[in-house]
Chain A
Amino acid sequence: MKLDLILRIGVKFLLPFVLLFALYVQFHGELGPGGGFQAGVITAGMVILYAIMFGVEAAKRIAPQRLVEVMVPLGVLIYAGTGVAGLLLGKNFLDYSVLAHDPPHGRELGIFLVELGVLITVSGTMTALFYAFSERGR
């Protein structure tokens, strides 16, 4: 275990930047390449990298199994809930234009919420998949 000291320390240094990059990809999604899918995978990649270096048990301390399993439907709920909000405000399902004072801002808010839901679901799903497979075949 001594030999991979550089690797361990290096990964620890890397992790915050991975998360920062994920957030950049998330919030830059409207202006350039990016969005919830990519950001979700990068976030999950951070957890998986941590798990590979320090063991699945350690990873489960920062991203508990139960939390991950709740994240999967929660993101979909945020997405669908955003759509239903448009529905309840008198427009069609998934019409975000009524979410704020004028349509462009409403759509911006709607996309933001949807991307947030996607981020939560994708990162949750990817991590849950990793946990599920890493537990098998021991």
Chain B
Amino acid sequence: MRFDVVQHLPALQVVIPLLGAVLAAFLRRGIVAWGLASVVTGLMPLIAGGLLWQVLQAGPISYHLGGWPPPWGIEYRVDVLNAFVLLLVSAVSAVMMPFARRSVAFEIEGDKQASFYSMYLLCLTGLLGITITGDAFNAFVFLEISSLSTYVLIAMGRDRRALLAAYQYLIMGTIGATFYVIGVGLLYLVTGSLNMVDIASRLGPASAEHFRPIVVALAFLTVGVSLKLALFPLHVWLPNAYAFAPSFATAFLAATATKVAVYLFIRIFFSIFGIAVSLESLRVCDVLLALSVAAMFIASVLAVYEQNLKRMLAYSSVAQIGYITFGIGLANQNGLTGGAVHLFNHALMKGALFLALGAVLYRAGTVKLAELGGIGRRMPLTFAAFVIAGLGIIGTPGTAGFISKWYLALGALDQGRWPLVFLIVASSLIALVYIGRVVEVAYFRATSEAAEKASDPPWNMLVPILVLAVATVYFGFFTELSAGIAAKAAQTLIGGLK
């Protein structure tokens, strides 16, 4: 038998970044490691795109690691939903890679840059692994791979408070991951299987006899993954972690890490439990909706009062994750489409916003709002991108953010809950306040000392920001790739529900 690339794409998706991370660990020079990381990251969207194309053509792919068939061996299972998330994660990181070189060289000491890229690739491995695997315990291992490398990435921040943020995240993240293992353990006790598809098929018959452990497992898994995806009120670790991590790490994590956790959440809810037990009767969706609405409002208000722009965007992330979980909580076709498409759109918009802040930090040396008067006039292109992505966060028509909120509103209307539509619009107005506050300072205040010396960053930092900003607009008009695929994914998820 010959080596056939197409057949092995699922394995390559994880193995290549893993090998890249290992090779980067041998390197000493930051620039070489950056080159390696760029090549590896650049390959990822090609593989993910190939997988998505295959899935759309021929249905789900099952790849047996070591040649052992499931449920005994570990299975990599790619369907529309995770091919979509794989493409999102890998494409956004590939777009961001050119930005990394100067930003990382500026923020991280020379001898630590190579290990930064090694940790970044390891984190990417973990995130892609969680997304692609069809094995619940394997997902835990990848979850920890990505989490452990994330803690290191955060601790590499310049400020000493980065260490505190990393410590806090380590404690909460480990509790979350351990809750996840407890949940998987209970499922294993009940069903005797770790393969997600196999668990789902065995859960139905088992639920008659062992209903209580199954509900407890659902509770543990929900809380565990919610900690990882920073569902309100389990978001406490997120603002500090994002505020003090190096700019590139912040942008990368904000765009990908929470999204993958959300994916895992959807997988657990709809592909494992939804098939066997009625989520409706457990009323988990109502709890989720209530928490999501709380996130949308409380986190947005906190963002309004925040002076550090990175922290402001971090709170905004918590609020936006609220919209995604809102869509999951609706648990109908339009709601789930809205959640999945917001996962995509939010990654683009937050990526652009955090990269723009990285550029501001690179040029002006600060991200405190009070010190940035008139920065918009000094860095016109960067702030143009910031404003476009900011409009997307608000949900202005013509940007990607509008599309996701439109589907969410439709989903709420389908359930006949029109007050929820009002809540979506009202919380978007708070986003208008915090984005507007930045615009006001950046364009209409007298030029401050820090802004005086600033100018647009070099092209290799600027292009990723602009690409993501343009994508925000593009996916506001052409939704075939975002909402179209999200709707397909939602259809399969809803179709399996009991």
Interface residues of A (CB under 8 A from B): 70, 72-73, 76-77, 80, 83-84, 86-97
Is the CB–CB distance between A87 and B8 below 8 Å?
A: yes
Interface of B is mostly: helix
Is the CB–CB distance between A80 and B65 below 8 Å?
A: no
Say whether B25 faces chain A, with CB atoms less than 8 Å apart. Answer: yes
Is the CB–CB distance between B64 and A73 below 8 Å?
A: no
Q: How distant is the Cα of A72 from the Cα of B26 in the complex, in angstroms?
A: 9
Q: How distant is the Cα of A35 from the Cα of B2 in the complex, in angstroms?
A: 32
Chain B neighbourhood of A86, CB < 8 A: 66
Is the CB–CB distance between A84 and B65 below 8 Å?
A: no
Query: 5 more A-B contacts (CB under 8 A) besides A87-B11, A93-B11, A94-B65?
Result: A73-B22, A73-B118, A84-B19, A91-B1, A92-B67
Contacts A70-B26, A77-B19 hold; do A87 and B3 have CB atoms under 8 A apart?
yes
Contacts A70-B26, A73-B25, A80-B22 hold; do A91 and B15 have CB atoms under 8 A apart?
no
Q: How distant is the Cα of A123 from the Cα of B466 in the complex, in angstroms?
A: 46
Is the CB–CB distance between B67 and A91 below 8 Å?
A: yes
Chain B neighbourhood of A95, CB < 8 A: 66-67
Number of interface residues of B (CB under 8 A): 19
**Residue interface mask B1-45, A partner, CB < 8 A = 1:** 111100010010001001100110110000000000000000000
Q: How distant is the Cα of A93 from the Cα of B25 in the complex, in angstroms?
A: 22
Is the CB–CB distance between B67 and A97 below 8 Å?
A: yes
Q: Nearest Cβ distance between residue A54 and chain B, in whole angstroms?
A: 29
Chain B neighbourhood of A94, CB < 8 A: 65-66
| Residue ID in chain A nearest B65 by CB atoms | A94
Listed A/B pairs (25) with beta-carbon separation below 8 Å? A73-B22, A73-B25, A73-B26, A73-B118, A76-B18, A76-B22, A80-B15, A80-B18, A80-B19, A80-B22, A83-B15, A84-B19, A87-B8, A88-B3, A89-B3, A90-B1, A90-B2, A90-B3, A90-B4, A92-B11, A92-B64, A92-B66, A93-B11, A94-B65, A97-B67
| Residue ID in chain A nearest B2 by CB atoms | A90
Of listed B4, B19, B22, B64, residue having the most chain A CB within 10 A: B22
Chain A neighbourhood of B23, CB < 8 A: 73, 77
| Residue ID in chain A nearest B8 by CB atoms | A87
Of listed A73, A83, A84, A93, residue having the most chain B CB within 10 A: A93
Say whether B273 faces chain A, with CB atoms less than 8 Å apart. Answer: no
Q: Nearest Cβ distance between residue B67 and chain A, in whole angstroms?
A: 4
Say whether B63 faces chain A, with CB atoms less than 8 Å apart. Answer: yes
4 closest A-B pairs by beta carbon, nearest first, are A90-B1, A93-B11, A73-B25, A95-B67
Interface residues of B (CB under 8 A from A): 1-4, 8, 11, 15, 18-19, 22-23, 25-26, 63-67, 118
Number of A-B contacts (CB under 8 A): 51
Q: Nearest Cβ distance between residue A69 and chain B, in whole angstroms?
A: 8
Chain A neighbourhood of B22, CB < 8 A: 73, 76-77, 80
Q: How distant is the Cα of A80 from the Cα of B12 in the complex, in angstroms?
A: 11
Chain B neighbourhood of A80, CB < 8 A: 15, 18-19, 22
Q: How distant is the Cα of A94 from the Cα of B64 in the complex, in angstroms?
A: 10
Chain B neighbourhood of A90, CB < 8 A: 1-4
Chain B neighbourhood of A92, CB < 8 A: 8, 11, 63-67
Q: How distant is the Cα of A96 from the Cα of B63 in the complex, in angstroms?
A: 16
Q: How distant is the Cα of A79 from the Cα of B166 in the complex, in angstroms?
A: 29
Q: How distant is the Cα of A70 from the Cα of B25 in the complex, in angstroms?
A: 8
Q: How distant is the Cα of A70 from the Cα of B11 in the complex, in angstroms?
A: 26
Q: How distant is the Cα of A70 from the Cα of B23 in the complex, in angstroms?
A: 10
Is the CB–CB distance between A72 and B66 below 8 Å?
A: no
Q: How distant is the Cα of A48 from the Cα of B25 in the complex, in angstroms?
A: 24
Is the CB–CB distance between A84 and B15 below 8 Å?
A: yes
Chain B neighbourhood of A83, CB < 8 A: 15
Chain B neighbourhood of A97, CB < 8 A: 67
Chain B neighbourhood of A93, CB < 8 A: 8, 11, 15, 65-66
| Residue ID in chain A nearest B26 by CB atoms | A73
Chain A neighbourhood of B1, CB < 8 A: 89-91
Q: Nearest Cβ distance between residue B126 and chain A, in whole angstroms?
A: 14
Chain A neighbourhood of B63, CB < 8 A: 92
Q: How distant is the Cα of A70 from the Cα of B22 in the complex, in angstroms?
A: 10
Chain A neighbourhood of B67, CB < 8 A: 91-92, 95, 97
Q: Nearest Cβ distance between residue B369 and chain A, in whole angstroms?
A: 37
Q: Nearest Cβ distance between residue B65 and chain A, in whole angstroms?
A: 5
Chain A neighbourhood of B15, CB < 8 A: 80, 83-84, 87, 93
Q: How distant is the Cα of A90 from the Cα of B26 in the complex, in angstroms?
A: 28
Chain B neighbourhood of A88, CB < 8 A: 3
Q: How distant is the Cα of A31 from the Cα of B2 in the complex, in angstroms?
A: 33
Q: Nearest Cβ distance between residue B2 and chain A, in whole angstroms?
A: 6
Q: Nearest Cβ distance between residue A100 and chain B, in whole angstroms?
A: 15
Q: How distant is the Cα of A97 from the Cα of B1 in the complex, in angstroms?
A: 13
Q: How distant is the Cα of A76 from the Cα of B26 in the complex, in angstroms?
A: 12
Q: How distant is the Cα of A92 from the Cα of B9 in the complex, in angstroms?
A: 10
Q: How distant is the Cα of A78 from the Cα of B64 in the complex, in angstroms?
A: 21
Q: Nearest Cβ distance between residue B438 and chain A, in whole angstroms?
A: 41
| Residue ID in chain A nearest B1 by CB atoms | A90
Q: How distant is the Cα of A56 from the Cα of B126 in the complex, in angstroms?
A: 35
Q: How distant is the Cα of A132 from the Cα of B22 in the complex, in angstroms?
A: 20
Q: Nearest Cβ distance between residue A70 and chain B, in whole angstroms?
A: 7
Q: Nearest Cβ distance between residue B208 and chain A, in whole angstroms?
A: 37
Q: How distant is the Cα of A96 from the Cα of B73 in the complex, in angstroms?
A: 14
| Residue ID in chain B nearest A96 by CB atoms | B66
Q: Nearest Cβ distance between residue B134 and chain A, in whole angstroms?
A: 14
Chain B neighbourhood of A89, CB < 8 A: 1, 3
| Residue ID in chain B nearest A72 by CB atoms | B25
Chain A neighbourhood of B4, CB < 8 A: 90
Q: Nearest Cβ distance between residue B442 and chain A, in whole angstroms?
A: 43
Q: How distant is the Cα of A80 from the Cα of B421 in the complex, in angstroms?
A: 50
Q: Nearest Cβ distance between residue B17 and chain A, in whole angstroms?
A: 11
Chain B neighbourhood of A73, CB < 8 A: 22-23, 25-26, 118
